[in-house]
């Protein structure tokens, strides 16, 4: 019996949360019998909480209403729920013993396995158990398991450097399959861990993934090779980038704040990164590249340690190592040479300026 359970036994629970036939048990019954709702439990492990902060910026005037209307029932979230302490523990216990149907277990943050595999670097308060143990036990009963953000998916920033906490993702340890739950883990719903990767993850990716699960429309065909939802991972950050004209002519920025393409010199991986950041904007209007920052491909495993400074593009013989996805090196070299020789003066000058210097020429576009 945990310390919190001993307190309840000794002093009683004024809300009756742990007694049979209590109002809380009635709530559990309602959540379990309403098969039209997707019961979602969200827990935070080793991370900064940035994915929850991102979620709170969802482009909707009624966050709870949007989830409710989509058939998503949020059982608990650390930033959005009133329950705490013994009330939360009761939710976790009810999920484990079957009193409460757990449809989707969402984990934010990397799993801290240290020291020495005990998981005791991160204990769930009031339970005497490592968060690692809770995740393993809840994953065994959940219909779906979701890694919310790159830390939960691969280990992410939390697993960078010497990784003293032995942090890992749910089903990946950086580039390698395995993680906490193992390479062969499949949830009761038949899917592996669904990796809603990003640092942070886009609120739209989270909400759309939950909506698809609630409607029964997300299956194995809807996940890519890294188990990311394909509705966003089949896109590239390059798609919709406002710097695409500069990219086409290989007119590159040479320092921060300049308007040119960020790929050649400034470390941008938008032509390789799988995400729809420039067509599904952040907060309705922004993205990394639109803000003047290079894309660091934060949806992929190992992005946190690229082997070079984030703001620099590594090259061999003047050619960027990270070429655009699906483009052979010889073609890129030929295209870049041709493009540079054909660059309009307007594009060339604007690329290395921090504001528009030369506007497009005014001309007639009609045939007559």
- Per-residue pLDDT of 15-28, as tens digits, reads 444 445 566 666 67
Q: Pick 14 or 276 by higher pLDDT.
A: 276
Alpha carbons 208 and 138: distance in angstroms, whole number: 23
Alpha carbons 68 and 125: distance in angstroms, whole number: 29
pLDDT of residue 30: 67
pLDDT above 50 for 100: yes
Preceding peptide of 103 cis, ω within 30° = no
Q: Which CATH superfamily is domain 3-230 in?
A: NADH:ubiquinone oxidoreductase-like, 20kDa subunit (3.40.50.700)
- Per-residue pLDDT of 291-313, as tens digits, reads 999 999 999 999 999 999 999 99
Q: Pick 279 or 15 by higher pLDDT.
A: 279
Q: Pick 83 or 14 by higher pLDDT.
A: 83
Strand partners, 74: 40
Q: Pick 323 or 187 by higher pLDDT.
A: 187
User: What 3-state DSSP class applies to 248?
Assistant: helix
For residue 336, what are its two tokens? 């870049």
Alpha-carbon Rg for the chain, nearest whole angstrom, is 24
pLDDT of residue 366: 87
Give me the chain's average pLDDT, please: 91
110 touches 164 (CB < 8 A): no
2 touches 89 (CB < 8 A): yes
Say which CATH class 235-352 falls into: few secondary structures
pLDDT of residue 318: 82
pTM assigned to the model: 0.90
At 74, phi and psi to the nearest 5? Answer: -80, 105
Strand partners, 129: 124
CA distances in angstroms from 152 to 86, 145, 173, listed in the order given: 25, 11, 10
Alpha carbons 156 and 305: distance in angstroms, whole number: 9
- 142-181 burial: b if 16+ Cβ within 10 Å, else e: bbbbbbbbbbbbbbbbbbeeebebbbbbbbbbbeebebbb
Contacts of 201 (CB under 8 A, 6+ apart): 51, 54, 55, 148, 149, 150
For residue 1, what are its two tokens? 């019996």
- Per-residue pLDDT of 195-243, as tens digits, reads 999 999 999 999 999 999 999 999 999 999 999 999 999 999 999 999 9
The domains of the chain are located at: 3-230, 235-352
For residue 184, what are its two tokens? 């062969």
Structure letter (DSSP) for residue 155: -
CA 238, chain centre distance (Å): 18
At 75, phi and psi to the nearest 5? Answer: -65, -45
Structure letter (DSSP) for residue 220: G
| Segment 253-268 mean pLDDT | 95
Q: Residue 339: enclosing H or E segment and its boundaries?
A: helix 329-341
pLDDT of residue 316: 87
Alpha carbons 139 and 185: distance in angstroms, whole number: 9
- Per-residue pLDDT of 319-336, as tens digits, reads 888 888 888 888 888 888
pLDDT of residue 60: 86
Q: Pick 36 or 113 by higher pLDDT.
A: 113
155 touches 29 (CB < 8 A): no
């Amino acid at each position: 019996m945990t310390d919190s359970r001993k307190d309840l036994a000794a002093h009683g629970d004024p809300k009756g949360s742990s007694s049979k036939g209590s109002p809380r048990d009635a709530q559990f019954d309602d959540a379990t019998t309403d098969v039209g709702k997707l019961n979602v439990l969200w827990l935070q492990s080793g991370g900064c909480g940035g994915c929850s902060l991102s979620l709170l910026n969802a482009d909707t005037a009624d966050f709870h209403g949007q989830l409710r209307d989509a058939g998503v029932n949020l059982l608990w979230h650390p930033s959005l729920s009133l329950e705490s302490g013994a009330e939360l523990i009761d939710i976790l216990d009810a999920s484990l013993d079957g009193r409460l149907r757990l449809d989707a277990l969402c984990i934010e943050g990397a799993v801290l396995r240290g020291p020495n595999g005990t998981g005791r670097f991160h204990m769930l308060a009031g339970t005497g158990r490592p968060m690692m143990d809770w995740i393993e036990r809840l994953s065994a009963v959940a219909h779906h398991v979701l890694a919310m953000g790159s830390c939960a998916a691969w280990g992410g920033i939390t697993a960078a450097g010497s990784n003293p906490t032995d942090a890992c993702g749910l089903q990946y340890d950086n580039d390698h399959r395995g993680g906490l739950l193992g390479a062969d883990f499949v949830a009761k719903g038949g899917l592996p861990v669904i990796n809603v990767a990003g640092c942070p993850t886009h609120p739209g990716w989270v909400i759309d993934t939950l909506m698809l699960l609630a409607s029964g429309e997300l299956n194995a065909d809807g996940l890519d090779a890294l188990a990311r939802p394909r509705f966003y991972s089949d896109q590239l950050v390059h798609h919709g980038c406002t710097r695409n004209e500069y990219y086409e002519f290989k007119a590159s920025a040479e320092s921060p704040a300049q308007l040119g393409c960020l790929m050649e010199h400034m470390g941008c991986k938008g032509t390789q990164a799988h995400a729809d950041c420039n067509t599904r904007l952040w907060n309705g209007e922004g993205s990394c590249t639109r803000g003047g920052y290079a894309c660091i491909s934060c949806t992929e495993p190992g992005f946190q340690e690229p082997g070079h400074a984030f703001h620099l593009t590594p090259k061999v013989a003047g050619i960027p190592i990270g070429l655009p996805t699906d483009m052979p090196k010889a073609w890129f070299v030929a295209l870049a040479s041709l493009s540079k020789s054909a660059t309009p003066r307007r594009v060339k000058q604007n690329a290395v300026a921090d504001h528009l210097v030369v506007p497009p020429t005014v001309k007639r576009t009609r045939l007559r």
